[in-house]
Amino acid sequence: MERILSLQDIRFSYTPDDPDSRFAVDGVSFDMQAGEWIAVVGHNGSGKSTLARLIIGLLFPQEGTVGLFGDPLTEDNLWEKRSQMGMVFQNPDNQFVGATVQDDVAFALENNGIPFGEMTLRVQNALEQVKMDTFLDHEPHHLSGGQKQRVAIAGALALRPRLLILDEATSMLDPQGREEVIRVILELREKTGLSVISITHDLEEALLADRVVIMNGGRKFAEGTPQDVFLKGEALTALGLDLPFAMRLSALLKEQGIPTEPGTMTERKLVEQLWTLHSNR
Amino acid sequence: MMEKMVFGRYIPGDSFVHRLDPRSKLIFVFIFIAAVFLANSTLSYALLLAFTLLSILASKVRIGFLIGGLKPVMFLIAFTFLLHIFFTKEGDLLFELGFLKIYEEGLRQGIYISVRFLVLVLMTSLLTLTTSPISITDGLEVLLNPLKKVKFPVHELALMMSISLRFIPTLMDETDKILKAQLARGSDISSGTMKERVQAVVPLLVPLFVSAFKRAEDLAIAMEVRGYRGGEGRTRYRQLKWDWRDTTALLILLAVIIALWFLRG
């Protein structure tokens, strides 16, 4: 397994000259292997978005190093490293640069000087991967939020990135749009083994990840598989995070004297436990 | 009202004119505008008018639609026509009613100027009607490319134009939303004195500006992440293709100009 990202003791403050200011990201370290999906979860102001910006080199840490694909990220190799990463932001409207879907997907390719012949192939290919290939000439204001986010993902994919960062990419979407985007990511991972970092405050989304990093007040609060991390239950709600629906329900059921296994995270598992409940007695 | 406005609108279609390269259309219109001023005789003006009508036919844009949409301009044309008729006092007296005197030269000048005006408006409208704004931007970028030698920021200008065009509908939606939000709070921009109405626009503009700046910032970050570093080393996804149609169109224009030269009085 290749290590594609390693954060070592990152500290970053937006106002480094002010001695009283607190660090937005304070001593965070973690590694990521190729093909992994890591969800970074936290309440507003927990430093999770700042972390994403440090990884893609929009910000540089005051202390610590960001290692990408084996080398530390510096001002000199910034553009080269960035061309191997894609990032999708929160607001679907504010990241749509092109006049039409295909122009927008081509934007990053144009910036990186990809020749025209190859560009058309890659645009077509990227749009097929997110199932937007029939929308080539559509203008952004005729698309739904979920469709715009899928185009944004295609725009990142066209560069064939090794790492895709989703910075709350689903938080402004309606449930349907959210599902569209998540399904696309799941399929991409299955087919191409793309590495994904998703910054989110939706714990249902975090459940899909291989590993969860929980941020609080700029520090790493917990790290592990979703199953391990969500067992902390109460401690997470204290941070202002909403536990997955199935977990909350199973806790409430237990209060009512209905035995459920601790650590039931998905609705399917809960349903399974409930319908076998009677026969187990 | 906005529905009927023709000026600056694009109507997708598939015609000879639609398929022309934006560069040839831009060159065509610019040369045509200059050529209009060559005309000075009845025959030359007739030729201009006939040529314009033929171009409209070739574009398959409905003439009724075009004329209907140009009503505000028609008013201006009628106005200049009347000005010329009443204030040119040369040639034979044609008609007299009290203090109103219409001279032959006045009538002629009135018609000439109106035709000139009409032809200019029709041709430029035809350009915007048959070319999407983004193609016009592309065409301009390529045509202005030589200006890069004198450090004129051609690429930046074209990118600015295309981003503004892309954000027009987004900002329109936003204006609509803010308008409704302010209406719900009791603001009223459709009644009251002029001063009151202007004042009522302020609470509309302030949030619009704030959000536009926010959008600009987000967009700049998104562009940077996607590797935007200015025009250098960039390739183009939109390719312009010059084919036989473009050469034909410009040759026809050349023939018209030569004919105009001979028809001059």
Put simply, the answer to whether A97 touches B223 (Cβ < 8 Å) is: yes
Single-letter code of the amino acid located at B84? H
CA of A21, closest CA in chain B: separation in Å? 24
Sheet containing A3-12, strands listed edge to edge, beginning at the edge strand earlier in sequence: A25-33, A3-12, A63-68, A71-72
Give chain A positions within 8 Å (CB) of B229.
Answer: 79, 111
Is residue B263 within a helix (H) or strand (E), and if so which, with residue range? helix B244-263
| CB spacing of B134 vs A115 below 8 angstroms | no
Please tell me the distance from the alpha carbon of residue B59 to that of residue A276, in angstroms, as a whole number. 72
pLDDT < 70: residue spans in chain B: 1-8
Amino acid B2: pLDDT: 46
Judge if pTM exceeds 0.90: no
Say whether B228 and A111 touch across the interface (CB within 8 A).
Answer: yes
Contacts of A127 in chain B (CB under 8 A): none
CA separation for the pair A272, A76 (Å, rounded): 54
Tell me the torsion sign for CA atoms A199, A203, A207, A208: negative
> Which phi and psi angles does B105 have, rounded to 5°?
-65, -35
Euclidean distance between CA atoms A222 and A30, whole angstroms: 11
Could you tell me the CA-to-CA distances from A281 to A18, A45, A258, A275, A277 in Å, in that order?
Answer: 64, 47, 12, 12, 7
Residue length of chain A = 281
- Across the interface, whether the CB atoms of B226 and A97 are under 8 A apart is answered yes
Burial class of residue B58, CB neighbours in 10 A (0-12, 13-18, 19+): middle
Identify the residue among B237, B238, B239 best suited for mutation to test binding to A, counting A beta carbons within 10 A and taking the highest: B237
Best interface-test mutation with B: which of A110, A114, A136, A164 has the largest number of B CBs within 10 A? Answer: A110
CB count within 10 Å of CB A268 equals: 10
Stated length of chain B: 265
In this complex, the residue of A56, A91, A102 whose CB is nearest that of residue B218 is A91
User: A110–B236: do the CB atoms touch at under 8 Å?
Assistant: yes
The confidence score (pLDDT) of residue B84 equals 87
- B134–A56 CB contact, under 8 Å: no
CB A206 within 8 A of CB A15: no
Minimal Cβ distance to B219: which of A97, A109, A116: A97
Cross-chain Cβ contact B225/A58 below 8 Å: yes
The confidence score (pLDDT) of residue B248 equals 93
**A83 with B162: Cβ contact below 8 A:** no
| Cα dihedral across residues A22, A23, A27, A33: positive or negative | positive
CA distance B186 to chain A (A): 28
3-state DSSP of A229-245:
HHCCCHHHHHCCCCCCH
Q: Delineate the domains of chain A, giving CATH numbers in brackets.
A: 3-232 (3.40.50.300), 244-281 (no CATH)
Angle at alpha carbon of residue A49, lines to A46 and A53, rounded to 5° = 135
Residue of B nearest to A119 (CA): B237
CA distance B179 to A160: 43
Q: What is the DSSP string of B40-103?
A: -SHHHHHHHHHHHHHHHHHHT--HHHHHHHTHHHHHHHHHHHHHHHHH---S-EEEEETTEEEE
- Tell me, rounded to whole angstroms, the distance of Cα A13 from its chain centroid: 22
Token representation of residue B155: 């690429």
Token match 């609509």: residue? B176
Question: What is the token pair recorded at B153?
Answer: 């920021």
B221–A58: do the CB atoms touch at under 8 Å?
A: yes
Tell me how close the Cα of B228 comes to any Cα of chain A, in angstroms: 5
Check: CB of residue B160 under 8 Å from CB of residue B134.
Answer: no
Among the partner residues A87, A110, A141, nearest to B169 by beta-carbon distance = A141
- Closest CB from B169, B215, B225 relative to A56: B225
Shortest Cα–Cα distance, B162 to chain A (Å): 7
pLDDT < 70 positions in chain A: 1, 262-263, 280-281
Closest CA to A167 of A30, A55, A26: A55
What's the pLDDT score for residue B5?
A: 60
Which chain A positions have a beta carbon within 8 Å of B237's beta carbon?
102-103, 106-107, 109-110, 116, 119-120, 123
User: Distance between CA atoms of A162 and A170, rounded to whole angstroms?
Assistant: 21
| Chain B residues in contact with A107 (beta carbon < 8 A) | 223, 226, 228, 237
β-pairing, A63-68 vs A71-72, is antiparallel
Q: Which residues of B212-241 are buried (b: 16+ CB within 10 A; e: fewer)?
A: eeebeebbebbbbbbbbeebeebbebbeee
Residue A16 half-sphere exposure toward CB, CA atoms < 13 A: 9
Q: Mark yes or no for CB contact A93/B215 under 8 Å.
A: yes
Q: Do A123 and B237 touch (CB under 8 A)?
A: yes
Determine the pLDDT at residue B1: 38
Here the tokens at position A187 are 């399929």
